[in-house]
Amino acid sequence: MWYLCVFYHRLLDYRKPEVEALAELFGGGGSPSSHHRLRWKLPEHHHPDSPFHFVDLPSEHIARSIANRSILVKGIYEVWGEGSSYEELEEAISCYPEERKSPYLVACTTFKVNIDSFGKAVSSGVQQERIQRLTFIPFKGRVDLRNPQHKFWLMETDDYGSNNGLPPMVQKTIFFGREVGTADRKLLPTYQLKSRKYLGPTAMDAEMAFLMANQGLADPGKLVYDPFVGTGSILVAAAHFGAMTMGADIDIRVVRDGRGPDCNVWSNFKQYGLPEPISLIRADNNLPPWRAGLQEVFDAIICDPPYGVRAGGRKSGGRKLLKGAVEPYTVPDDKRAGHIPSTAPYSLVECVHDLLEVAAKMLVMGGRLVFFYPVLREDEVAETDYPEHPCFRLVASCEQILSFRYSRVLLTMVKIAPYTEAIAETARKMHLDFKENHLKWLEEGNLHSAVFTPIDLLSDSSGDSKLWKELKPKYRGKYV
Amino acid sequence: MKLLTHNMLSSNIKGVTAGYPLLIEPQITTTTEVPINPNFLRHIFPKLDYSALVAAAKTLGFSDLPETAGVSDLEDEGFLKRFHHALLELKLEEGALVCPESGRRFMVSKGIPNMLLHEDEV
């Protein structure tokens, strides 16, 4: 059945993939190996960035589950009528089947009508006036403004001109619908990083962590792994949704006490009354400590790998790799206990290669790999430019613009083929190639300089690149 | 570190072929109460090395697990509870994990095992 799905107007690329992931979680979306996706429809005359979309969901129960668990769905509604004027709307509502309306209008129920206007604030006087126009609907129940059983929404969008940063609207649309479910945005102030006990410089923002956990289908009974766990911000979101978690990091911050015995990664979970991770390990994802033959243990791997822009990745090896022909450094026995192994820079290419390998091996069939991948905005990045692996199918790519020059894209991949010996062999060869040609791999695609070089050194002679045109966008598009 | 993770870890030092299972030298062990999830236990059981789990649990002071067990034992609530306890409720806070072949010790401090290899083990 078609429902109206109204999104919060932010993180535009993330909106539909979240609903599709949750549809799969709650049984409405078909399996990832079939290419069955949800059916979406734009209201007439609406721009694809509009917050209003129709979606076909199998039942109201599934629609409610999706909405209530989501972060970006302002509401899912059963539409009783739509029109470009109040006369058209009244006509449409009157024609809507009685048997769909009457259960929600009966005398023994409570209800409330909310007014919403996208892109424009509406005074309470105007709101009252609009509510009055709905008196033709035979509401027999009692009004309860605090905690009504049924919530109705009268939503309006209009053509507000093109200079205000909102998606272009061609004409006014009015919807009237019954609320089926809404996102619980109160999660965000509860989990906001501002009040997090122990933070690191790359701790994942709470809203984004929840979106990642939704893309990964975190749920009770599932085991979620983060190989770049840092201060645990992504695992906190997964734990909130009931998953069991495990994390690893090469960085000593995972091991250190933080700022005291009550200020470390473990206390980040205690702070919210969440079960702590099964384990945190100090380990190198380039040389993981897993036993041979261990496969298909994790239901999801959700992480934010280091891309070398604000935080550079490290891997084991240190001085031996950098100096090439120097004899391997042997730690004197008396120093072994406290020795902190030197590490070498870890290029993005090798980091992502290792991540895909670990995921291909350790994820169950149908399990999800969700991770951020950085892109330079001046390159036209097509889906084919994203990392690939024979065990995975890409199901979503969501761009978040970080600066004038670069974005990060949240990639969601599903494991569709088992990890074979042939794949392992290819990986071993690649691992050796990275080791042998260490410097070459470091230089290729070095993002740090591309992002931080002063701008006049970057512009080409014509000064006419795509980015310059966007300097003062009239329509903000993905900048929300 | 809980025993589910210990069951997955091995010493991958260059040249070592029999680095699993790691021997445990416990100094401080704790027990936490974790809600039991039978579905998860049934899903994870086939992936584990059960005998390694039994041995590890014994080193941490828990000897109530049967020496062998099969998938059908998971239907027995008594076994499920003991399995759950060994896998997810026992925690090693301080101690060491020892490579069975080379004797190299991986320290466990504040519940976190350090599995990083030194420069000459890579």
B18 neighbourhood in chain A, CB within 8 Å: none
* Residues A86, A133 contacting (CB under 8 angstroms): yes
Q: Is A391 a residue whose pLDDT tops 90?
A: yes
Structure confidence at residue A255 (pLDDT): 64
Structure confidence at residue A343 (pLDDT): 77
Q: What is the largest CA-CA distance in chain A?
A: 88
**How is residue A145 written in tokens?**
């403004």
A220 neighbourhood in chain B, CB within 8 Å: 37
A290 neighbourhood in chain B, CB within 8 Å: 8-10, 12
- Identify the burial level of A377 via C-beta atoms within 10 angstroms of its C-beta, where 0-12 means exposed, 13-18 middle and 19 or more buried: middle
Q: Check A297 against B40: CB less than 8 A apart.
A: no
CA-nearest residue to A335 within chain B is B118
* Range from A374-378, A415-419, A467-471, A474-478 carrying the lowest mean pLDDT: A467-471
Nearest CA-CA distance, residue A64 and chain B, Å: 25
Of A305-314, A328-337, A468-477, where does the model show the most confidence?
A305-314
Strand B23-31 with B90-98, pairing:
antiparallel
A240 phi/psi in degrees, rounded to 5 = -60, -35
Each residue's pLDDT tens digit, A137-196: 999 999 999 999 999 999 988 766 665 667 776 678 999 999 999 999 999 999 999 999
Q: CB of B41 within 8 Å of any CB in chain A? A: no
Q: Is A471 a residue whose pLDDT tops 60?
A: no
A316 neighbourhood in chain B, CB within 8 Å: 116-117, 119, 122
Q: Check A275 against B114: CB less than 8 A apart.
A: no
Read off the pLDDT band of A449 (50, 70, 90).
low
Q: Check A287 against B2: CB less than 8 A apart.
A: no
Structure confidence at residue B46 (pLDDT): 93
Q: Check A291 against B43: CB less than 8 A apart.
A: no
Q: At what angle do helices A12-25 and A60-69 cross, to 10 degrees?
A: 130
Chains A and B form CB pairs within 8 A to the count of 107
Average model confidence (pLDDT) across chain A: 85
Structure confidence at residue A56 (pLDDT): 95
* Residues A90, A136 contacting (CB under 8 angstroms): yes
* Range from A267-271, A309-313, A427-431 carrying the lowest mean pLDDT: A309-313
Structure confidence at residue A29 (pLDDT): 53
Rounded to whole angstroms, how far apart are CA atoms A153 and A157? 13
CA-nearest residue to B9 within chain A is A290
Is residue B21 reached through a cis peptide bond, with omega within 30 degrees of 0 on the bond before it? yes
Of B8, B21, B107, the CB nearest to A290: B8
A128 phi/psi in degrees, rounded to 5 = -60, -40
* Range from A384-393, B22-31, B44-53 carrying the lowest mean pLDDT: A384-393
Strand ranges in A304-391 using DSSP code E only, listed in sequence order: 313-316, 343-346, 363-376
Residue of A313, A322, A226 whose CA lies nearest to A268: A226
Q: Check B40 against A223: CB less than 8 A apart.
A: yes
Rounded to whole angstroms, how far apart are CA atoms A118 and A6? 10
Residue of A189, A169, A171, A206 whose CA lies nearest to A51: A169
Q: What is the pTM of this model?
A: 0.90
Which of the pair, A223 or A312, is modelled with greater confidence? A223
Residue of B9, B14, B12 whose CA lies nearest to B120: B14
Q: CB of B114 within 8 Å of any CB in chain A? A: yes
What contacts A425, CB < 8 A, 6 or more positions away? none
Read off the pLDDT band of A335 (50, 70, 90).
low
Q: CB of B31 within 8 Å of any CB in chain A? A: no
Structure confidence at residue A2 (pLDDT): 96
Q: Is A55 a residue whose pLDDT tops 80?
A: yes
